[in-house]
Structure 1
Amino acid sequence: MKVTDRRMFTDDGELREEYRFLEQQKAGTAAEKPPPVASEGGPASAGGVPPGGAEQAASATSSAGSDAGAAQMPPRGAQSPGFMDLVAVLAEPIAFLLGDAQLPDGQSAQDLPRARLHIDLLAVLQEKTRGNVSEQETALLEDLLAQLRMRYVEKSRG
């Protein structure tokens, strides 16, 4: 069994060569193409996925021998995920957990305690980002939370 060090930094605290493109991107001088990664799985396996590169990381991780896909950056012009994308990811399972949507196999996955946990996580996100997001994002999150809370109360009472 071969063990590969996939940490972003060396023991001396220096950024590893395969992660230099992140530093360049942050400085605003995006590299044409990041250097190829010698290790199997590349930075995507270590959690160092570039913004918007989740799909590429997933496909690269699923095909074990494909080092090229793991080291690629998202195409130019691809938008990085924003605040509402995070809200959508947190809110997505709530419909299933409230029993309003069915799983692909037709089963219901109603789990009210977990639904409440997800709703509470959205409320924490709302509290922690207060004053740091646009008015439109604030309004959308408030509306979403109000609707989810009402639906939760309906489900828990009946």
Structure 2
Amino acid sequence: MTDSESPKIHIDSDWKAQAQAEKERLSAEAEQKTDTDQGAGGMGEMPPANFETLIGTFVTQALFALGAIPDPRTGQPSLSLDLARHNIDMLTVVSDKTKGNLSKEEEETLATTLYELRNRYVQISQAARQQ
């Protein structure tokens, strides 16, 4: 074979640039999605939608209303006995409506949670009346 007859190898260096551009595009999309999820009050990754999360939502709201969790805007606890009572009542509705449909562990968790919240509510409401 002569030089003119030797096989020619064509190197496509464009694929590297295309792959890099695609990688950058995907990275930008992922970053934008993260910004969108966390912007406008978003929290990023959400907790699983399950029974424990449902109960935890009401517990958190009740504790917030009882002043156990400070207001994130002011850093100060605020007391709203009506709101606390409402969230405890909502947990009671969940308990009543799910009787016989929960695992033993879920029943015990819910019963213990309600007991503790009710006790805390009574203690705080009595202390508030004495002031």
TM-score normalised by the chain length of structure 1:
0.50
Higher-RCO chain (CA-CA 8 Å, sequence separation at least 6)? 2
Confirm whether residue 130 of structure 1 aligns to residue 119 of structure 2.
no
Distance in 1, matches of 2:38 and 2:77, equals: 32
Determine the structure 2 residue equivalent to 1:101: 69
1:94 CA displacement? 1.2
1:59 alignment partner, one of 26, 34, 37: 37
Q: Say how many residue pairs are matched.
A: 87
Confirm whether residue 88 of structure 1 aligns to residue 88 of structure 2.
no
Question: 1:8-157 residue pairs with structure 2 within 5 A?
Answer: 59=37, 80-104=48-72, 105-157=74-126
Runs of 5+ in structure 1 lacking a partner?
A: 1-55, 63-73
Relative to structure 1, the CA distance from residue 102 to residue 131 in structure 2 (aligned partners, 3 Å threshold; closer, same or farther) is same
Deviations along 1:60-100, one digit per CA (max 9) or x if unpaired, are: 995xxxxxxxxxxx9xxxx9521111111121111110012
Runs of 5+ in structure 2 lacking a partner?
A: 1-33
TM-score normalised by the chain length of structure 2:
0.59
Bigger-Rg structure (1/2): 2
State the superposition RMSD in angstroms.
Answer: 2.3
Identity of aligned residues (%): 33
